[in-house]
Every structure is written in C-alpha cells, then in structure tokens.
Structure 1
Amino acid sequence: MKQPSVDRSSMGRKIGPGLLVAIVIAVISQGLAQVIPLVGGPTIAILLGIVLGNTFIRQPQLEPGTRYAESKLLEFSVVLLGATVTVQTISQIGWSGVLFILCQMTITILAAIGLGKALHFNEGTTLLMAGGNAVCGSSAIAAIAPAIEADEADRGMVITLVNLMGTILMLGLPVVGQLVFGSIALTKGALIGGTLQSVGQVVASASMINPATVQFATLFKIMRIMMLVVVVFLFARIHAKHLATEAQEGASISGNGSGKVLPWYVAAFLVFCLINSLVRLPQMVSVSAHWLSGWCEITALAAIGLRLNLQAFLRAGKRFALYGLGVGIVQVVTALLLIALLIH
C-alpha cells in the first residue's frame, strides 16, 4: 500500500533539482525584468537558461526536472490561460475586428508553412512556427507539439526563435504604429494585439504608447488566444493526413497522430473559457490564473533554455533567422494592410 508514495518520493527526488534550478532562473528573470522591462521576464528567462545550460549548468541529474518543467508547466499555463478569456471579447472588438484576426491568423499560418517548406524545415518545425506566431507564442507551441508529435529539440528551438523575434517586434511595433496610424488607439492596438506572440509582449509594447492602446491590444490578443483550440485541432488533422499519405507510400510510421486531436490541457482551456464566459468568474480568479499562468510559462521557458543545444541552434542559425524574419515581415505587412481595409 505504501509503494505509490515511495514512487512519488523517488520521482520528486528526480525532478526536484532541475525544477528548482528552473524556478530560480525564473525568479531572477522576473527581478531583472523590473530593471529592464522592455525585454521582459520570459525573454530574459530563456536567454539566461541558454547561457547557463550551455556553460555552467550541464549536469545530467538536472535533465528530468527541466524536462518536467518544459512540458508540464507549459501545459498548466495553457489551462490557466482559459480562465482569463471570454467569448464576450467578440462584441468588444466588433465583427470587423474578428474578421481582421481571422484573416491575419490565416495568412500568418499559410506564410509560415510555405516559407518553412521553401527553407526545407520539417513539418513539426513549420507547424510550430505557424501556431506560435499566429496564436500565442510558447503556450500555443506547447499545445500544438503533442498533437503533431513534434520533436522535443524542434520545439525548444522554435520557442527560442519565436520569443527572440517577438522581443524585436515588441520594441519596433509602437514606432511603426505611431508613424502609420498617428493617435488612433484602436488601429495601433489592432497592430500590436494582432501581431505579437505573447500576452506579456503585447502589454509591454502597447504600454509604450498609452493605456487606451493597451486595452484594445489586449482585446485583439484575447481573440487570437480563443482560436487556440481550433488551430490545435486543424494542425492535428494536417499531421494525421500527412501520416496517412506516408503510409500509403509505404513509409514506416511510429505512433498515431490521429489519436491526439485534442490534448487534455487544450480541452481544459476550452472548459475554463466557456465557464468564464457563462458565469463570469470573479476578477480575483482571473487575475490569479493570469499570474500563475505567467509563472508557469516563465519557469518552463527557463527550462527550455537550459535544455537547448546552443551549438545546434547556431548551426541552423542562418536559416532560422531568415525564417523568423520572413514570418515577422509577413505578419506586420499583412496587419497594416488588413487594418487599413477593415478597422476604422
């Protein structure tokens, strides 16, 4: 009868060291973010993790804990994110705003997949890039990865690239928005909220302009997050179709992508979102969920940095940089054109 507790204790000793290191890096990163807020805690966490993981902290005993933090904490982050969004967002940004987000996401996904194929990246990398940029960065990548059976190394490198490109756009979009749209908070909010990858980047970028822009940018961002379930479902079907095609061609396939249409945490995200939309959870619940989701994400990003093979990332650096730059340019140009056509 006591065997399960022994097993849990053994598991705790295995994951404890690596998880603790990731938490410490997350705390340090959040502290540094107070000093350099324009960079943000998530980006600092992944960069600090990369530096330490490829220099001073490379002990094998940390691997179980960092793997746990990378996978499970990102899953929990996705679940908690559901308690922070509601379908009422649609009424606040209007149907033209909804159409803008749908078109923006569709073009971003198609561009990321097309450019990825042109640069000879595998299916996992292209779908993760498409989802990470179109929806909500690290959380979307975490939700999509198991549904398409993505390689762990691919996931880590794509998350790193998406966060780095997001930081560059975070600093540049307020300037672009001010030059193109002047004092119109709605259109600047649409540009930032419809383009940047993570919620933190959206808020930080919009805060460089004014509070009204923050409000609109957050609404557009929430609309993108609400599409997470749809994107995961569609990407799982794409992966299943790809496997079926390979099977017909006589390829050897391991695993079954069609059985992973909707990971449990994506379903939980949807449930929380629906509950929040129907009964409107108390603000304290939403704020707490947002806070805890943020800490889960930044700890997971620290773990991803610790586990990233910097040499492998740099070997693919030129192609990855071109990939990220290409997708970023498509996102910004598309957003500017769509806003001019749809948002008034």
Structure 2
Amino acid sequence: MRQCRGVSPNKSVSSAVPGLLGAAAAVAAAVGVHFLLPALPAMTLAVVFGLLAANLPGVAAWTSGPARPGLDFAGKHLMRAGIVVLGLKVSLGDVLGLGWAALLLIVAVVLAAFAGTYGIGRLFRLPPRTSLLVATGFAVCGASAIGAMAAVRRIRQEETVLPVALVTLCGTLAIGVLPLLARPLGLGPEIFGAWTGASVHDVGQVVATAQTAGAAALAVAVVVKLTRVILLAPMVAAAGFHHRLGPGAEDVKRPPVIPLFVLGFVAMAGLRSTGWLSPAVLDAAAVVQDVLLGMALFGLGSAVRAGQLLHTGARALLAALASWLLIAVLGLAAAFLMFPSA
C-alpha cells in the first residue's frame, strides 16, 4: 500500500485494520447467508454488503472515513492475492479433456464476447477504460479479470468500481434467469451446463446457476468456466503488450507485460495440474480464495455511492444488459455445438 511521506509503517498498517476487520466480518456474514441460502453466491453477497455499507446512514460515514484505507487495500492487494489462489481451481487435464473442438469454441466465445462487449460499451458512449474493464469481466471471469486488466493497464482502483458492480449485477441476474429458460428451450443437463459455464461471469455464480440442473450440468459448467478462467493470462499479456506499444508509452513508466500476480495464477494452475496437491489442501485453498476475493469485493462495493451510480451509471447499465444478452446467445450457440446430440 502506498505510504505518505512522514507516516510510519506501523501507523499505516494500523490505519488499515478497521477496514480489513470490517471486510472480514462482511465475508463471514456472506458465507453464513450462503450456507442458509445456497442459491446466493457468497461473492455476490460480499459486493451487495459493500454497497449497503456505502449507502446506509451511519455505516456510510465509517466506510468513507476510518475504514477507507483498509477497504482500499482489500480492493487492490487482496484482489491480486485472490487471483493467485484462483489458479488452484484450474486443472489443465480437465480443460484438455473437453477436446480441441470444444476448446476452440470457448476461445471463440471469449473473444467474440470481449470484442462485442467493448463495442457495445463504446456505442453507449462509455469511456474506453470502462468499456475495456466491462468487456474483460464479462468475457473471462468477472471481478477477478477486471482487477487483473486494471493492473496491467494502470487503471485506477476507483475506475474498477462501476465495472465490478455491473458484472456482479448481470451475473446475479443469470442465476435467476437461465434456469427458468432451460425447460422452454429444451436443454439437457450437458447443454445447460455448457451454456452456464460459457456465459456466466463469476465461478461462484456459475456453480449457483448450474447446480439447479443437477450434478452432470454442474460438472460440465465448472470445466467450461475454468477454461475461460485460464484465458485470463493470455488476454492480460496481450493487453500489457499492446499498452507498452501504445502512443506515449515511452514517456511513462511502463507496466510489465504480465503482472507478477498473473504469473502466480499460472504457476498455481500448473501446480494444480500436477496432481500433487491433496483434496484437503485444495479445499483449504478454496476457503482462502473465497476470503481474499470476498474481502476485496466488499472493499470495492463499499466505494459505490448510490447517487453517483444513478447519475453516471444509466448508460453503463443498459450497455451491460445488452452485453449480457450477447454473451448468453454466444454461450448457448457454443453449448449446442459442443453437445450436438444431447
């Protein structure tokens, strides 16, 4: 965390404690609600609790005052740590087990969703950075992808708040809408699972959506989703390379092509793929990842003021809904092509 001149490290650390404790408490509450209502993903609840904390009388003063240093630390640094641990969810063997045709379809969906969502954002006159972050979150893996892209393109944390809110909103919408469409569309478990994995943003939201169609749908959905997640590294690398070649790049300090935390994500995915880690270790890592990302998402949500969102976010909301429809159609088409006989 950046320290001001003349401020001791101990004082800087102590100033972050209230916000970090509040974020941890919010994650505990989110996990508790998820345990009682499994259809509500804990990560989505963490964002919602952050939004409430930012806008409820009394608590809002705390989030914008004494808690702000810790919440900002969570939104930036704990997000990056959570992305590293997220790599332990990705098994290259499971991904390759889909077959090359399915892998190419998923890559095509991600690229088309990214390009289409960016184009929709610009059509709705969103700033290029906002359009980039929304496109990354929708195409790859939600808030985690937004955090990674913001780091490599040197986008300020404040500018990630709206994209995270939009990707959370649309992912939550998918949890309710996709299962309602499964029967009218005549989708079997495999097709529904592939559709969910190819079109829903966050891993937790994918699980919450796919499990409504049973274990077979959930198994397919998770593998398809994690295939999208592993594309985070090459997409961030491409964005970093493009940023270094952009106009004026030679006049400023250039960020690395691939940030260290993304390399950490790749290393963790490689470690998971060796099969050396026991189920107990992977379960513990999943808990750590949920805590880190949950605290980060609470921190980001706590920076959203309802008045500002209503004033500046109307066009962004329409763009996000249009993008959500686009990726849902792309994902459904890919699912039918993956399982033509299902």
Mapped pair 1:234 → 2:238: yes
Amino acid in the other structure paired with 1:149: R
Contact 1:178 1:188 in 2 (8 A): no
Alignment partner, residue 4 of structure 2: none
1:200 maps to what in 2? 204
- 2:331 is matched with 335
* Matched letter for residue 195 of structure 1: S
The alignment status of 1:9 with 2:10, answered yes or no, reads yes
Show the 5 A alignment for 1:1-344. 7-55=8-56, 56-57=58-59, 58-59=61-62, 60-182=65-187, 184-241=188-245, 243-244=246-247, 247=248, 255-256=252-253, 258-344=254-340
| Alignment partners' CA distance in 2, 1:42 and 1:259 | 29
Amino acid at match of 1:237: F
- Count of residues in Structure 1 that have an aligned counterpart in Structure 2: 330
Amino acid at match of 1:302: F
Partner Cα distance (2:26, 2:233) in 1? 30
Q: What is the CA distance between 1:280 and its match in structure 2?
A: 3.7
SS for the counterpart of 1:208 is helix
* 1:128–1:158 CA contact under 8 A, matched in 2: yes
Q: What is the deviation of 1:34?
A: 2.6
Q: Which amino acid aligns with 1:34?
A: F
Q: What is the distance in 1 between the residues matched to 2:117 and 2:312?
A: 17
Q: TM-score, normalised by structure 2?
A: 0.91
Q: Secondary structure at the match of 1:311?
A: helix
Counterparts of 2:183 and 2:152, CA distance in 1 = 39
Q: CA deviation at 1:254?
A: 7.2
Deviation at 1:7, TM superposition (A): 4.5
Structure 1 unmatched ranges of 5 or more: 1-5
The whole-number CA distance in structure 2 between the counterparts of 1:126 and 1:254 is 25
In structure 1, give the amino acid aligned to 2:168: N
Cα shift at 1:279: 4.5
Aligned partners of 2:85, 2:33: CA distance in 1, in Å? 25
Cα 1:41–1:275 change in 2 (3 A) is closer
Quick one: distance in 2 between partners of 1:149 and 1:312? 23
SS at match of 1:308: coil
C-alpha deviation, 1:9, in angstroms: 2.9
**RMSD, aligned α-carbons:** 2.0
Pairwise CA distance, 1:147: 0.5
Letter in 1 for 2:161: G
Structure 1 residue identity aligned to 2:335: I
**Corresponding residue of 1:3:** none
Q: Secondary structure at 1:61's aligned position in 2?
A: coil
C-alpha separation between the residues in 2 aligned to 1:308 and 1:254?
33
CA contact (8 A) 2:195 2:334 kept: no
Q: Deviation per CA, 1:214-259: give whole Å up to 9, x if none.
A: 1110010111111110111122233344x41xx39xxxx9744x43
Separation (CA, whole Å) in 2 of partners of 1:279 and 1:43: 30
TM-score by length of 1: 0.90
**Distance (whole Å) between structure 1 residues aligned to residue 39 and residue 316 of structure 2:** 24
Q: Percent identity?
A: 25
